[in-house]
Structure 1
Amino acid sequence: MTEQIGLAGSRRGFLKLALGAAAVAGTGVWAGGGAAAAAGLTRVPPGHIGIQLYTVRSLMTVDAQGTLDALGAMGYSTVGVSGLYGHSPHEFRAMLDRAGLRAVLTHVGLDTIRGDWQQELEDARVLGVRYVVVPWLPDSLHNPAGYRQLAAEFTEAGKAARGAGLKFLYHNHGFDFRAVDGQVLYDILLDETDPRFVNFELDLYWIVDGGKDPLDYFDRYPGRFPVFHVKDRAQDGSFEDVGYGTLDFAEIFRGQRDSGVLEYVIEHDQPAQPLVSAERSYRYLRTMRF
């Protein structure tokens, strides 16, 4: 199915069309949840399964409310905000409320913490999020000195966030796990920030793609990863729907107590059919046991 919201003619038509295709695509998902539950295994808390709205960005630009409605109807409880698509924080919060969704985090640019940070924190409070997250770093900072500078900046931003009743996180990519001059860049941030003020949204695709083991980080830095970006990796290294790639999520999630994870936020950076991808990933995470 080609997801073209405009062809539906109305939000109701779009929702029916999109959910129908997603339901068909989701029929092949793993179905061992009942037996696993009977065996005494645990599951991801349903109220903490979310999706980063970057996954459905092509649809959000056309019909934000219809897209949020579709995600809520699938069963998602939470979202990670990736921009407001021309809406004010109050308007966006109202759309989330209407869809029955709760925003748990918002991504903001590094320039934001260097600018009117207090206004950004106020906007985050309106959205109702718990976490404010910097998700990207410029190439010029990909060195030990740059990461030490960031550790200091993140600490100050985290102190202000804590004063506003929020928490500050950094979201990793593959470049964070490079060793430069004998130092793993990501480790500099972990070692040189205070967990009272700075913690981490761990993107599981990118840490594996960067050649590192999430469980090793949970052991060395317990409690510092309150949010997982649950993203899968295909055999060829490309992005894949959660549960259809190569990552062993059951093994990773078994480290949940050490990690400190509270929120599981699905993401696919380049889905061919965003709602189909969202449905497949949700079904897997909702039914898996570990």
Structure 2
Amino acid sequence: MDKFYVQLDGFSRQLVHDYEGVMEKVAKLGYNGIEIFYGLHGGYTPEGLKNFLGSIGMEVISSHVETEDTEENLKYLPGTGCRYMINPGLAITSTKEAYEAAHFLNEMGKKARSVGMKYGYHNHSNDFLKLDGKMICDILIENTDPELVAFEMDIAWAYRADVDAAGYIRKYPGRFELVHVKETKEFPMKLDFMKPIPKEKQGEKDISGWPKLDPEAAKKLDEALSINCELGKGIVDMKAVKAAADAQPCEPIYIVERDYAWTGDIFTTLAADAGYLRAL
């Protein structure tokens, strides 16, 4: 693989302290660009961000955007050269909600297209749960316009739901325009429907976009994230995923989402991820 991108969430804490220095370090590791997380723009104007990233050989390929931040990002992202605005996940617990979500994605797709971008949806394990015998993700894909809505397959979340990501991509060729590269260990996981968290109960986030946690909670989160292990050392068949994604009628965009630094350092971990992908 000669072209791949990286999601900013894995090193968002470092970015808020040294945006330019961290981006330059990531560029030197061989990443071709970024998927923005939590509006981390480094204080740049859209054109300024595009120019800065261009000067170090990178670009904005996509951005995760919470629903409530849509209008703001419709104004900001086009100037960066961003191609995709990705919804990071919806709380769907019934067939009615699934069809409503598909309609919502189509409407967002029209808005994104009006400013030169495409709307997308990022899956989690719960999107592979069934409602009246049909997977949520099936309902979303089959009831959205391919011209308006793309899907970003997070392969680790698929495997954690006991879904063969390669087989699922083959089921809907051309719909998975983006692929989140993520490895996962095998572990027992009880799947449940994602439930919306009321605003008043949502935890406060720090400036990097992560929830503020006390030391004990932070340790537990780190332990949980460690299921995101070294590429090639978990249960994901990355070669099969790549073959399925590459066989689509669209050229897939591969984006590393690094939840856990298995080397103990996010940058040496990202370097290893880049090396793995270049050899794939």
TM-score when scaled to structure 2? 0.79
**Over aligned residue pairs, what C-alpha RMSD do you find?**
1.9
Q: Are the counterparts in 2 of residues 228 and 261 from structure 1 also a CA contact under 8 Å? A: no
- Tell me whether 1:107 sits opposite 2:64 in the alignment: yes
Shift of 1:94: 3.9
Tell me the residue number matched to 1:252.
241
- Tell me whether 1:269 sits opposite 2:226 in the alignment: no
Q: Are the counterparts in 2 of residues 79 and 104 from structure 1 also a CA contact under 8 Å? A: yes
Q: Counterparts of 1:58 and 1:180 in 2: how far apart (Å)?
A: 38
Tell me the residue number matched to 1:27.
none
Q: Counterparts of 1:252 and 1:281 in 2: how far apart (Å)?
A: 16
Tell me the residue number matched to 1:9.
none
Shift of 1:235: 4.0
Shift of 1:51: 0.8
Tell me the residue number matched to 1:95.
52
Q: Counterparts of 1:249 and 1:164 in 2: how far apart (Å)?
A: 34
Which segments of 5 or more consecutive residues in structure 1 lack a partner in the other structure?
A: 1-43
Larger relative contact order (CA 8 Å, sep ≥ 6): 1
- Tell me whether 1:127 sits opposite 2:84 in the alignment: no
Identity of aligned residues (%): 27
Shift of 1:229: 0.3
**One-letter code aligned to 2:238:** F
What aligned pairs does 1:185-200 form with structure 2 within 5 A after superposition?
Answer: 185-200=136-151
What aligned pairs does 1:199-214 form with structure 2 within 5 A after superposition?
Answer: 199-214=150-165
Query: 1:155 is matched with which residue: 83, 90, 106?
Result: 106
Judged with a 3 Å threshold, the aligned counterparts in structure 2 of structure 1 residues 189 and 160 are, in CA distance, closer, same or farther, namely same
Measured against aligned partners, the alpha-carbon deviations of 1:231-256 in whole angstroms (never above 9, x if no partner) come to 00124471113233221111111112
The structure where helix makes up a greater share of residues is: 1
Q: Counterparts of 2:172 and 2:233 in 1: how far apart (Å)?
A: 29
Q: Counterparts of 2:238 and 2:32 in 1: how far apart (Å)?
A: 20
**One-letter code aligned to 1:84:** L
Q: Which has more radius of gyration?
A: 1
Q: Counterparts of 2:174 and 2:130 in 1: how far apart (Å)?
A: 24
Instruction: Classify the secondary structure of the residue corresponding to 2:34.
Output: strand
Instruction: Classify the secondary structure of the residue corresponding to 1:106.
Output: strand
Q: Counterparts of 1:284 and 1:157 in 2: how far apart (Å)?
A: 35
- Tell me whether 1:146 sits opposite 2:97 in the alignment: yes
Q: Counterparts of 2:40 and 2:266 in 1: how far apart (Å)?
A: 18
Q: Counterparts of 2:127 and 2:85 in 1: how far apart (Å)?
A: 19
- Tell me whether 1:68 sits opposite 2:60 in the alignment: no
Judged with a 3 Å threshold, the aligned counterparts in structure 2 of structure 1 residues 276 and 142 are, in CA distance, closer, same or farther, namely farther
Tell me the residue number matched to 1:29.
none
Judged with a 3 Å threshold, the aligned counterparts in structure 2 of structure 1 residues 267 and 210 are, in CA distance, closer, same or farther, namely same
Tell me the residue number matched to 2:206.
none
**One-letter code aligned to 2:54:** D
Instruction: Classify the secondary structure of the residue corresponding to 2:150.
Output: strand
Greater CA drift, 200-209 or 272-281: 272-281
Q: Are the counterparts in 1 of residues 19 and 42 from structure 2 also a CA contact under 8 Å? A: no
Query: 1:215 is matched with which residue: 153, 162, 166?
Result: 166
TM-score when scaled to structure 1? 0.76
Q: Counterparts of 2:233 and 2:56 in 1: how far apart (Å)?
A: 27
Q: Are the counterparts in 1 of residues 89 and 123 from structure 2 also a CA contact under 8 Å? A: yes
Shift of 1:78: 1.6
Greater CA drift, 102-111 or 88-97: 88-97
